[in-house]
Amino acid sequence: KLVFKLASAVTLYSAVLLSLVTVGSVLTLIQRYTTFLSKINTFERAIEQTYMSLPFVFMAVGPFLYCTEIWKRIQFINSWGTFQEQFNRVTNRRVHLGLRYRVYCLVALSLTSAVSGPISISSVTENFKLWQYCICALGLLLGTVMPALWYLTCHGTIRAAKDLGDEIEKGLQNNSFRQNDKLVQFKFLWLHLSKLTQNIGRSMGFTYAMFTLYCNVVMVIASYVFLVLIRNGFHKHILGQTVGILVSLATLYAQCTNAQSATEEVGLNFQERIQSMLQKYPPLSPTTHIEMDRFLAVINSNPPVVSFCGFVEVNRGLITSLMSQLLTYLIVLLQINLSTHPDESDKQEDTIL
């Protein structure tokens, strides 16, 4: 049975790691802010420094949000263990989540980003010490693990819903629901899975809401810097901004798509599958048919929705909303940039005339 133990070596390791990342990020932010104030700065330089400091802001604030949700995460993990135990007791087999090879691939990706990230950062930063590069590596590792954990949780939920549907269909094929007690057990299993689906966002909603906001801010500032570099002719420096935009966009897309897939698979798709079973296996006993209708009513009255603590639903519509906000903020930044360069705007007006 999957059980989370607070007093364990893993918890101690996580606490030490998060403490190092938080303290190192705060010290780095103080150093960058002091250096910024000691020089004559422009709006463009302020935006550039903000862009370079964003990862450290996230690493400094993120652990505090994470700590506020520790108890909810523990309950979520233990609830998953309870669901697996109940599934094993009802079906006499383990639920097949199919996560092993995905975990291996994501671990390799996380380690690759932790190694390659500081190397690329060293080419665009100055006066960084060795311990700061170590903080960058830990931060990149954290930034890769977070979406990976979200993906694995959503994918495991999807596979569990499909496994549960397979067992119900197998029971209808073998006509093993003569006694409706087992069908009732499957209904309670689905209710448990529906609650788990909703708790994906409730147990870590604040942390991932901040992560979503962070990715959106990165896209806004990186897009602005990208346009400014093109205008100024620094085409060889746009690669870093392009990577930042694409990585943030891909992360948001994967996060929203997986959450929507989990919501649909446990809810609407599961309901449609039960309805298709009723049509596919019509010679059911009256009591079984009634119990299946009750099952459909339960699914309809308990729709699973992945959201950030009930505030914002996580689906592809969230990406559309963020993209519209990105364009709005980008236009505002470009207008501020033009207002800080009146000579260039006058030249552009003369050219147009």
pLDDT the model gives residue 343:
54
Provide the residue ranges of all domains of the chain, joining segments of one domain with +: 9-340
Q: Can you list the alpha helix ranges (DSSP code H) found in the chain?
A: 9-37, 43-68, 70-91, 100-121, 130-173, 181-203, 205-232, 238-266, 268-280, 286-301, 316-339, 342-352
Give per-residue pLDDT as tens, 197-208.
Answer: 999 989 888 989
Distance of CA 134 to the CA centre of its chain: 24
pLDDT the model gives residue 193:
94
Q: Which two tokens stand for residue 261?
A: 């897939």
Give per-residue pLDDT as tens, 166-225.
Answer: 998 888 887 666 656 788 889 999 999 999 999 998 988 898 999 999 999 888 888 888
Q: Which residues contact 267 (CB under 8 A, 6 or more apart)?
A: 194, 197, 299, 303, 304, 305
Residue 270 to residue 125: CA distance in whole angstroms: 51
DSSP letter (8 states) at residue 92: S
* Consecutive H or E run containing 9: helix 9-37
- As a whole number, mean pLDDT of residues 142-164 equals 92
Asked whether 1 and 85 are in contact (CB, 8 A), the reply is yes
pLDDT the model gives residue 342:
56
Strand pairing class (312-313; 307-308): antiparallel
Q: Which residues contact 6 (CB under 8 A, 6 or more apart)?
A: 74
Task: Find tokens 């639920």 and name the residue.
Answer: 95
Q: In whole numbers, what is the pLDDT of the chain averaged over residues?
A: 83
Number of helices (H), then strands (E), belonging to the chain: the values are 12, 2
